[in-house]
Structures are given as structure tokens and as C-alpha cells.
Amino acid sequence: MIDRTKSVFFPFLLGFFLMGILEPGQALASGGEGGSSLLTAISASILAATVFAYLASMIHQPLILAYVVAGVIIGPQFGLGLVQSQEDIQTISEIGLILLLFIIGLELNLKKLKESGKSLIVTGVSQFLFCLAMGIGFFMLLGVTLGMPGQASYEILGIPIHGGPYDLLYLAACLALSSTAIVVKLLYDKFELDTLAGRITLGVLVFQDLWAIILLGVQPNLANPQVLLILWSFAKGGLLVLISFLVSKYLLKIIFRQIAKLPELVLVASLGWCFFVCGVADVFGLSVEMGALIAGISISTFPYNLDIISKIISIRDFFVTLFFVGLGMMIPNPMNNPGLLLVSLAAAAFLISTRFLSVFPVLYGLRNGHRVSLLSSINLSQLSEFALVITAIGIKPEYGHVGPDTLSIVIFVFVITSITSTYMIQFSHGLQKFLSGFLSTVGIRDIQNAPSEAAAEEYKEVALLGFYRNASSLIREIIDRKPELKDKIVVVDYNPTVHRKLKTLGIKVYYGDISNMETLHHARIEGARVVVSTIPDSILVGTSNLKLIRQMQRLCPHARVVVTAENIKSALEMYNEGADFVILPRVVTAQYFLPVLENLIQGGGQELKSGEIEKLKNRGEEIVLI
């Protein structure tokens, strides 16, 4: 993740540079040469974003909110009017979305998505359909009807709306889509893209992109939908995927292998590939954003993808900043029609409720438990930027599907849900615990552990608190080298996938949150001889390794406590707190690597390499890939 100081001051310095190359006194509106107008608009946007981002960081508010406020302040709707023309900013912000989706594709592990299995597929397909059906019913109750061409106005909650004949379908469909840009940025900052809830959320967003492609395919012929046109859109999408993966497999691998020693060329080639696939998608009549996602996925298995991501992230963050500033400039003045704001608030509340009504029951019914089901619902509780695009197309004179008030409602809902969901995701774990408690109170219980896991069961000697990559490797090591220890271990974790897979291996596992003392008590941790936390504080949620040490001193004072630290200072604090051993991954790595380095210096490279390859082949995959 980019250092926050750099992410704030880089745009600030760039803004002064851009302002410096412009002629003094040049207007920020639209005067002068087109290029200079673009530069002044960019400089005003990033300087405003920097100022408000700095203020937001001081009061611990989300940066996305700061960027939107910056756009409102400098925009033409009801701000200072420093930027009058938004077309250039919107073009550049679209590049940010393309880069964002390209990185998502690079980080998308298809094998992990596949392991999410039935939960991901069923939720991805059903969520849009459920939300669409609920949206049609909701807006019909408010008075919106499917009209005929030429219909100009109607009323919602007694408020006159200047709309179009297909407002009902547009509003229902748009409110069923969630924002990839907002969700991915927030989950990325929280290190939660790789969790089960994060993978399901990302998978649902991918399915929503597919639904959006269907909507864009149907849109030109909405008055007379053609099945063949929809099938043709699917065929073109499949052809784009096929072309991308074939070129990636048989051509790009060779090219990247030859240029791997030139990092700058790797970056340029990657961006070239991204925009090439986007161009092909545009030729096929598909969204360029979907093209960027396919481009990233097609090279995600290359060994250079982490290097590509590290170089693109700074560029992406710059353009995404402009996207949110541009969004702020698009917000209509609510004083022009206060009733629209009231309708938008009702629609936003409905959108958030539909995410819980469409996502939670499906995931809960597939035995994912309260935590994963609720977190996925919370993550998806906002409107998609695709909704803005779809509605903006529908308002064009050649379509005439919706009216200007409909577009204003969609923009207001996007802004309202962008702000609310930012806070909801930021504090998602506390919100999830509250909602989980409420659900348990009304009789919707969390995943129940089997009767054999009740209090009458014998104590286990080793307790693993939380299960992530290091714990997965440890279990594999135990199975391969010390199988007799397998029956002496109990694992406590809230990931249902971990729960199912460990049980198939015959390892005792208890579903629950390690930050909850009641959970640890029911898991009979008090009888353990050794308690181990292999998860560092940056990944732990709701607790820390220091807190776990104190909890173990109360719950099982005679147990040896092993925790994980990320630096020497933290390790010493944990020892002072009473830890019996502290795992410091970078020190362990260095200790393991030193004899390897000596071996390589002495010329033992080939023998060492062959031995490591043989070890990895015999070891196989980790127990649970997460």
C-alpha cells in the first residue's frame, strides 16, 4: 500500500508544477488553448484534492469523501466555479478506472475465486436479479410506471419528476449495481481483498460487470429488445476473452521473458497490453473497463505481476483521485429541486437494504455464517459508477429513455451511498458484530459447531488462534513431518472455508472470532499447553497480539503463548507482556536464508536448486489457500 504522506503530497507538488507551466492569469474555465485548459483544470483539481485530503487525514475521515468535497467546492454546480468544463477531467478519470480494473485483474486469482465455489456463483447470479425485482416493486409503489414513448413527467412522494418512459427499468437496474472503484480501494487499504468476504465481494462485482454489459447491449433496442443482440454481446465478450488468453499464453509470455530485466519496459509493455485490449473491447462494442479487467486477468499468472502492480499503483491513485473530484463537480445543486434530494435519500436507503436482503440470505443459506454474509452485504452497499454511464446514455436525445431528473436522482444516490458505504466499510467489523448480535436475538443464529465440539470433549494441547498463510504452512508441515501432532491441535477461526477443509483433514476446528473471550472459552482453550497466533497485527481484526497475550494469561495462565510481530520493537513489547516466544517472520527468513547464501557463494547453486524443487514438488499445495 502507498504511504499516505506520499499519496497526499505527490498531487500537491504536481499541481504546482502544472500551475507553473501555465501563463499567468489564464482562466480556469475554458479559455485559452485546449491543452492549457486541461492542465489548469487538472491542477485545480489535484490542489483542491490535496488540501481537503490533508484536512480529512487530520480528523481521520476517509480520503474518498475529501476528494468528492473538493470537487463540489471547485465545481460549477454550486461551488466556486474554478472549473467550468468537466469533459477533460472525466476523460482522465476514466483512465484511472481502467488502471484500477487492470490492477484488479492482475491481483485476481482465478483459483481462489473458484475455491469460493458455489457461494460466489450463486450470489453473483442471484444478487442482481433479486435487487432488480425489488427495485421494480419499490419504484412502482412510489408511483413510477413503465410508460410509453413521449411520457414526460410523473410524481414520486408527491414531488413532480421530469422523467422518461423507461425510468422504472433504469432506476431498478442501476440500483442493483455496486461500485468497483470504491469497494476495491477501501478493501485494498484495509488488506481485506484476500479474505473470504473480500473474494466473494470482488466476485459479485465481476458478475455485476457482466450484468452491466447485458444492460448496455439491451439499451439501444430497449423499445424492441432483441435476443439475438444480447447473445451477440455475449459472443463478443467470449471472443475477447479467448483472444486475450491465447495472445497472453503464446506471445506475451515470450515477450515478457525477454524484457524481464528491464523494469521500465515491463511497465510500458503491460500498459500497452492493457490499452490494446481496451481498444479491442471498444471495437467489439464492449466496455473498455471490462477490457482492462480481462487484460489484467490474462497476465495475472506471470511472475512479473507484482512488479507491474507496484509501478502502476501510483499512476492509478492519481487518476482515481481525479475521478472522485470529477464526481463532486457533477453533483447538482439540491436547492434547485429539494424534493429530488428527498427521493434520492429514500432510494439510497432502499439500495442499502436490498444488499442485505439479496446477499445475506443467500450466503447464510450456503452456510457462510454471519460474519462473511454480513461483511459481503456491507461491502456492496453503494451505487456503481456504471449506473452513471448507463443513465447518461439513456438521457441522450437519440434514446430519450429517461429525463434529467432521473439522472439527478442517480447522481445523488451515488454520492449519498458513496459516502455512507465508505464509513460502513471502514467500520464494517463493528457493524457486523452489532448486526450479528441482533440476528441472534431474533433467532437467526450463526454457524453452530457440532455436538462433538461441546464442553464434554477433551482438551487439545495446541491451540491455533486464527488461520492464515503461516498457519496453513504449519499444518502442512505437521501433516508431512509430525502427523502424531495432528490430533493434539484445535484451530479457532471464523472462515467457513477453513472450517470445512480442516474438518476433512481430521483436525479439530472451532468456528468463532478469536477476539471474543466467550468463543475461546467454548473452544476449551483453557486446557491448552501452547497457544499460537501466527497472524500479525496488520491482518488481525478486532484484537491484537498484545491483547491475545493478556487474554491467555486470564483464560489459560499455565499455557505457553506464541505470538507474531512485524518488527523488533513490537516483539520486545510482546515479550515484556508475557509472551513465551515471538515469531518475527523477517528474522526467521533471514536465519533460513543465511546458509543458503553461503551455499550459493561456494558454488552449490545447482544442487541447492534441484533439492528445493524436489521439496516443493513433494510438499504440494498448502492446506487452505487464502
pLDDT in tens, 51-82: 998 898 887 677 777 888 888 888 887 778 78
User: What is residue 107's predicted lDDT score, i.e. its pLDDT?
Assistant: 67
- CA–CA separation, 101 and 606 (whole Å): 40
Statement: residue 49 has pLDDT above 60? yes
Query: Using 50, 70 and 90 to split pLDDT, how confident is the model at 367?
Result: confident
Q: Which three cell numbers stand for residue 490?
A: 484445535
Residue 292 neighbours by CB under 8 Å, 6+ apart:
97, 98, 99, 101, 102, 105, 274, 277, 278
- CA–CA separation, 180 and 202 (whole Å): 8
User: What is residue 35's predicted lDDT score, i.e. its pLDDT?
Assistant: 52
Percent helix / strand / coil, the chain, rounded to 5 = 70, 5, 25
Secondary structure letter of residue 485 according to DSSP: G
Q: Residues 43, 18: contact at Cβ < 8 Å?
A: yes
Statement: residue 290 has pLDDT above 80? no
Q: Please write the tens of the pLDDT for every residue from 80-136.
A: 878 776 676 667 667 767 877 787 777 665 665 565 567 778 888 899 999 999 999
Query: Using 50, 70 and 90 to split pLDDT, how confident is the model at 624?
Result: low
- CA–CA separation, 262 and 273 (whole Å): 16
Residue 451 neighbours by CB under 8 Å, 6+ apart:
none
More confident call, 398 vs 86: 398
Phi, psi of 562 (to 5 degrees): -120, 125
Q: Please write the tens of the pLDDT for every residue from 166-182.
A: 888 899 999 999 988 78
User: What is residue 1's predicted lDDT score, i.e. its pLDDT?
Assistant: 38
User: What is residue 110's predicted lDDT score, i.e. its pLDDT?
Assistant: 62
How many contiguous H segments (helices) and E segments (strands) does the chain have? Answer: 25, 8
Residue 151 neighbours by CB under 8 Å, 6+ apart:
163, 164, 165
User: What is residue 17's predicted lDDT score, i.e. its pLDDT?
Assistant: 41
Residue 297 neighbours by CB under 8 Å, 6+ apart:
105, 106, 108, 110, 244
User: What is residue 59's predicted lDDT score, i.e. its pLDDT?
Assistant: 78
User: What is residue 13's predicted lDDT score, i.e. its pLDDT?
Assistant: 43
Q: Please write the tens of the pLDDT for every residue from 502-512.
A: 888 888 888 77
Statement: residue 25 has pLDDT above 50? no
What is the chain's Cα-based Rg? 27
Query: Using 50, 70 and 90 to split pLDDT, how confident is the model at 623?
Result: low
- CA–CA separation, 458 and 475 (whole Å): 20
Which one-letter amino acid corresponds to residue 228? L
Please report where in the chains the cell 454471519 appears, as a residue.
370
More confident call, 310 vs 380: 380
- Three-state secondary-structure class, residue 115: helix
Statement: residue 14 has pLDDT above 90? no
pTM score, two decimals? 0.66
Average pLDDT estimate for 202-231: 73
H helices of 494-544, where? 496-504, 517-522
Query: Using 50, 70 and 90 to split pLDDT, how confident is the model at 448?
Result: low
Angle of CA points 47, 50, 52, to nearest 5° = 110
User: What is residue 18's predicted lDDT score, i.e. its pLDDT?
Assistant: 41
User: What is residue 626's predicted lDDT score, i.e. its pLDDT?
Assistant: 46
Single out the residue of 515, 474, 473 nearest to residue 492, CA to CA. 515
- Percent of the chain having pLDDT more than 70? 82
Phi, psi of 560 (to 5 degrees): -80, 130
Q: Which three cell numbers stand for residue 234?
A: 455475449
User: What is residue 32's predicted lDDT score, i.e. its pLDDT?
Assistant: 45
More confident call, 357 vs 400: 357
- Three-state secondary-structure class, residue 225: coil
Statement: residue 16 has pLDDT above 60? no
User: What is residue 530's predicted lDDT score, i.e. its pLDDT?
Assistant: 93
- CA–CA separation, 324 and 4 (whole Å): 17
Query: Using 50, 70 and 90 to split pLDDT, how confident is the model at 248?
Result: confident
- Residue 463's DSSP bridge partners are 490, 531
Average pLDDT estimate for 466-475: 86
Buried b (16+ CB within 10 A) or exposed e, 13-34: ebbeebbeebeeeeebeeebee
Average pLDDT estimate for 228-237: 72
Count CB atoms within 10 A of the CB of residue 246: 12
User: What is residue 4's predicted lDDT score, i.e. its pLDDT?
Assistant: 41
Average pLDDT estimate for 566-593: 90
User: What is residue 510's predicted lDDT score, i.e. its pLDDT?
Assistant: 83
Query: Using 50, 70 and 90 to split pLDDT, how confident is the model at 306?
Result: low
User: What is residue 3's predicted lDDT score, i.e. its pLDDT?
Assistant: 43
Region of 81 please: left (phi>0), alpha (psi -120 to 50) or beta. Answer: left
2-11, 228-237, 424-433: lowest mean pLDDT where? 2-11
Q: Which three cell numbers stand for residue 428?
A: 464494517
Angle of CA points 608, 612, 617, to nearest 5° = 150
